Amino acid sequence: EDIKNFLEKQTIYYIDKNEYIKGLIYFSNKKEYFKKLAALSNYGLCFVLGNDEHPIYRGVGIKHKNVYDVHTKSLVIGDFVIIGLEGAPTDIKFGYILSHDDKTVKKHLDNMANKYKNKKMIVLSHAPPHNILDYAIRFGENHIGSKPLLEFIKEKKPLLVVCGHVHREGGKETLFENTLVTNVASHDDNISHGNMALIEIEENENYIKATHNGYEKKFGVLHTREWIFKENKIIIKDIL
């Protein structure tokens, strides 16, 4: 069993008759999803807490072997480093359980960039960058992404940002200043389709390929996009 097959069996989100949340997108001591996913991975499993997770849930994840809360401790794999950003931007109107103000986020990201300045950076963030795959409509139409994360992308040029938070933007990706931003959020309605992405990065940094299942439920196809970076141009290929 590989990761894709495992996820396809688990990514339905629903609430049972006792109003218990079921599915892969929640923390569970009994199901131990993190343990199973980590065992299927060559390098382990990275996670960050979302805006509705209490910090106590860090212990649920990191108790397992090869499971990493990359907001607390980054994961170095060869020439690459995966850094994390948990929660969502502070917004009193929404009353998030876990959020950080812009000053705190900027300090956190700057510390990581300075510590790993010789590494190729991958960012795992619950919230997307501000104004990139972050247009929300649930509590009013607004861009609810992280402004410090956007500035970090402009200044530090990470290879990849994987994010979520904004449900309607899940299953989409875009290229911003040569950084691939992929949003893999899923809706949280009953029997919602779970989104996931397969991303390939060549070590020479001249090629990135991302495949996501955002169109699978509606159109029955997977969408693959390839970016090939040349000296004076970027070639983008879309495959359905």
Asked whether 11 and 196 are in contact (CB, 8 A), the reply is yes
Per-residue pLDDT of the chain (240 residues; tens, 9 = 90+): 577 677 666 545 445 555 555 544 444 455 677 888 888 888 889 999 999 888 887 776 677 889 999 999 999 998 899 999 999 998 756 678 899 999 999 999 999 999 999 999 999 999 999 999 999 887 778 899 999 999 999 999 999 999 999 988 888 889 898 899 999 988 766 666 677 788 887 766 677 887 776 666 666 777 787 878 777 777 877 776
Strand blocks (E) in 16-79 = 21-22, 45-47, 67-69, 75-77
- This prediction has a pTM of 0.81
Sequence letter at residue 67? V
How many CA atoms lie within 13 Å of 73's alpha carbon, on the beta-carbon side?
Answer: 8
The C-alpha torsion from 193 through 162 and 62 to 156, rounded to 10°, is: -170
